[in-house]
Structure 1
């Protein structure tokens, strides 16, 4: 609101005094003052009356126009017409359904807000789905492309938000880091050299696998079972593959101990992906047949024992390394069938995704001190002792699924050595297929695309792939240059304000919660106070504003402009070594789990922290230059979502210090479970067309935590904005007079989730994604929001499900 204009006018009457200097006969005896005044009034009565009337009219007109003028500027300042506001308004208007004025928001808010988005956005042939966040990511990718394809910024081109500007003495180090980025990007963009290398870089790794886990002629021919000494070299091959970032058979890692979050512990779990994207696919006979055919086609070309030139090269390799005669091999199709059947057994033994996300099921401490009879653990200990630092003693593991480990022992006992070798080779192919440009790999790329509903021969533009490659391997250096171009101190402060407001409002909601015992409420409030908020970018581990820190961080990564595949391996080795080197040290709570350009956010239960990279703090989710209800509606709800994770189906198990412990009373747990079941049932009613076109239901248990967080996030964000607007009234946006500011808060929230998906990708997400489909996150969250229903005057004000 602008300040009211003030209008003041001064009116001076023109008093016409008699001229002094008249003729002699005009001089008379002066009359008494009162008498003279009465006479003058009588003589000029009409003139006086008219003058008074005229003066009154003038005063009235002045008051009227003064009031009008004071309102006129106020009207202008109530409407934001800056370029940022016009841009924001046009984005919303474009996204709205053309029929938005005729649609009932209480009936289908997703169509009302996103109907225009669907019309304006088509999926590229290489996309399985897309939403507003995808557009934001691609905008960031474009900015990063411009950074990577331009020379190092000159001194005059650095913003004040730049280490090169702040510390001129280290600008040379900053440029060396930039050159490393450029070399990695240029090597990825050099498709001619990559195509010329073809399959050879991948074959080098495959040959190494075959050397570490050889198969030679025996009495069993192709059926050499893994008994006795046949298992002894499994640790060697798993160790080699783990250092390249692969996790066949088991996934190994190191991270905070949930019950002692300042201590790093070794964690063992089933592979995040067995072979196909979800275990459900192994029950689909059509997909399974296509997968087997694909594996056979690729193995025919890349397996050391099948393609003639590969067999010759491999035989020379094996002889040079002291191995005996290679076993005769059968048809690639036979081995493909055996490998896929082996994967099917592993998938069957793996926990369902909702159980894999359940801390009460995946936290299983196991000691190795007296583990003589625990064969899988003994095998693991051999690997872990060589991965961990030399001064670290591996005596304890957190095993995510003991039943999987036991089943794995039985599966391996009935699996031939030949099958297992081929399985390891196939894992290498899957892991590095995107880094190879060769005809031999095309069947797998086509199959993967088809499984997601993409055009089989499609691929992202090369520069997009290469920006992602650099972000994956040298992400913190890239983050430093992204921050300089896409972030500001003003944005960081505004982000901190929003997150702090959300925390304050969430505490108020906790105080009003009736199903939680008071003792639990007090601990919950303490937990909110202790939540660490990380906004924008890291300043430690590493400090991206310190070029020297970045240089040290990546010093072991070797980058050359002509060795793309080798660059990738070097990047992978660093990632793995950093993880294992943390053993024996306190948990580094300064580390971030996402690079700065990432359009995402997260809550980390053991660290009790919420993290918002600068990538998600971009238009249209976040903008310091538009009315605050837009940023509170979108980014504020994201912030509230992450904070709500501290009390969802997983976060509730962690106390204010990040310890996995039972800190809720029984009655509070019962109150939570009763309300949580409502969310499970609500979202399970949402469906997408399944493989057979029958309705495939959303997994209400798998998506429970995210759905609870969505509801809590919007509720806290709306309360936070209501408090802010009382202090600083917001302006309106042009062209959106149909909506109140309250309503635009929810429009902004829903805009973030506008998107579309191919059928096949939607199915895959139902199987594996702990998030509900984007459209369901709009409909379900609005159905659970009392504030939404009151803002849009819905007939039914009561939320379907509610926690806070």
Structure 2
């Protein structure tokens, strides 16, 4: 079941992924770590609440649409939720993952099983996952293990549950992930949960969902149609000038800061100058040569079945990621297509995609996460301890202020690491 989940890029319980080497961003390595949770955040499972009740009800309602044998559904749902709740107990929060990134363990494929020391043969598991896309792993292949304690504890947890409960859990997570691709009678089972989660009173119009999917999947091809017909090249040039002005102003702010030591200042300014900016669109999108676009979308062969297309999309995403292991890192890669209004900073590549907040994205290279990476995107402690202490003192007032904000409708506090 784990192999089947990995085949469709569904990281329940464990995550297997190809990532930039955090110590050498010019190469790809294998990453192994904790998987996702149905309710996303581990703290959501701490106490019974409206969200956990709605979540379990969704499981029951979906199961009822799929079988006429209903006598075991209540017991099965209870077992599934208890398993996931137990997994959540050992899951690291986002704040913990950030704070404990230095605890990542570097090992090799041949030593992985010994490193995790569980009943699961992780070395063989990795080999089979990558072999599914014709990538043969060597014994000395680098592996970065995150959340090692989670992997050890959860491997012991799942050994205590029946094969029925484990299979049901994987099926549930599979169905949950693909629910939006399914017919309406299945999708309606999710509505009450969605309303409890974020207040959405009704499902998004199907036309919007479908067009959004096309944009997410083939955004660069769509961008080509728009750019060649409507885009003003002057806007691109003006944006490039604007970001250079913002970069220079930011460097001047660093230089004038009174809380950074001189060595950290020099390195910070060098990093700011090294940021790769992705503005408007990559050149190949507007080019008369469509070779790259055709190559990128060569496997995108769909039919009239939306659910089967969804499965194919998930499978292609997994294949593309696993195959990265044998590819070179391209620092010019775009994280998002031009048709997606999004701003993003990639610490491993030290690059920014410009949406509408250019200056904001630059600052990500120097925040609590970004400051761990040097100008080449490698994890290197380049801030002096005295500067880190000064930074913490400077930000304490913001932490105190925003941590006191609560959203009454969901009875939750503002989450510091996402909001500041």
State whether TM-score is above 0.5.
yes
- For 1:530 and 1:245, how far apart are their aligned partners in 2? 33
Partner of 1:390: 135
Matches within 5 A, 1:316-715: 331-358=72-99, 360-361=101-102, 363-371=104-112, 373=114, 374-376=116-118, 379-388=121-130, 389-393=134-138, 395-455=141-201, 458-539=202-283, 546-560=289-303, 562-612=304-354, 616=355, 635=356, 638-689=357-408, 691=410, 696-700=412-416, 702=417
Partner of 1:296: 60
Contact 2:331 2:349 in 1 (8 A): yes
Equivalent in 1, 14, 20 of residue 256 of structure 1: 20
Give 1:401 deviation, angstroms: 0.8
SS at match of 2:144: strand
Deviations along 1:759-792, one digit per CA (max 9) or x if unpaired, are xxxxxxxxxxx136xxxxxxxxxxxxxxxxxxxx
- For 1:356 and 1:363, how far apart are their aligned partners in 2? 10
1:280 aligns with 2:24: no
Deviations along 1:186-233, one digit per CA (max 9) or x if unpaired, are xxxxxxxxxxxxxxxxxxxxxxxxxxxxxxxxxxxxxxxxxxxxxxxx
Contact 2:18 2:321 in 1 (8 A): yes
Give 1:405 deviation, angstroms: 0.5
Question: Structure 1 pair 378/589, CA: closer, same or farther in 2 (3 Å)?
Answer: farther
SS at match of 2:107: strand
- For 1:544 and 1:351, how far apart are their aligned partners in 2? 45
- For 1:572 and 1:652, how far apart are their aligned partners in 2? 33
Contact 1:543 1:550 in 2 (8 A): no
Partner of 1:771: 419
SS at match of 1:484: helix
Give 1:452 deviation, angstroms: 1.6
Question: Structure 1 pair 399/288, CA: closer, same or farther in 2 (3 Å)?
Answer: same
Deviations along 1:676-701, one digit per CA (max 9) or x if unpaired, are 3232222212222165x6xx43233x
Q: Structure 2 unaligned runs (5+)?
A: none
SS at match of 2:121: helix
Question: Structure 1 pair 483/376, CA: closer, same or farther in 2 (3 Å)?
Answer: farther
Q: Structure 1 unaligned runs (5+)?
A: 1-236, 309-328, 617-634, 703-769, 773-804
Question: Structure 1 pair 563/364, CA: closer, same or farther in 2 (3 Å)?
Answer: same
Contact 2:178 2:310 in 1 (8 A): no
SS at match of 1:591: coil
- For 2:378 and 2:182, how far apart are their aligned partners in 1? 44
Contact 2:28 2:328 in 1 (8 A): yes
- For 1:521 and 1:515, how far apart are their aligned partners in 2? 10
Provide the aligned length of Structure 1 versus Structure 2: 414
Partner of 1:193: none
Q: How well do the aligned residues superpose, as a CA RMSD in angstroms? A: 2.3
Contact 1:537 1:544 in 2 (8 A): no
- For 2:186 and 2:316, how far apart are their aligned partners in 1? 29
Contact 1:435 1:565 in 2 (8 A): yes
Question: Structure 1 pair 485/343, CA: closer, same or farther in 2 (3 Å)?
Answer: farther
- For 1:546 and 1:466, how far apart are their aligned partners in 2? 28
- For 2:259 and 2:181, how far apart are their aligned partners in 1? 53
Give 1:361 deviation, angstroms: 4.8
Question: Structure 1 pair 362/544, CA: closer, same or farther in 2 (3 Å)?
Answer: farther
Contact 1:476 1:544 in 2 (8 A): no
TM-score, normalised on structure 2? Answer: 0.91
Question: Structure 1 pair 335/545, CA: closer, same or farther in 2 (3 Å)?
Answer: farther
Contact 2:191 2:203 in 1 (8 A): no
Contact 1:256 1:606 in 2 (8 A): yes
Give 1:429 deviation, angstroms: 1.2
Give 1:371 deviation, angstroms: 4.4
Give 1:391 deviation, angstroms: 4.1
Contact 1:368 1:378 in 2 (8 A): no
Question: Structure 1 pair 289/341, CA: closer, same or farther in 2 (3 Å)?
Answer: same
- For 1:495 and 1:688, how far apart are their aligned partners in 2? 36
Give 1:416 deviation, angstroms: 0.9
Give 1:377 deviation, angstroms: 9.1
Give 1:575 deviation, angstroms: 1.9
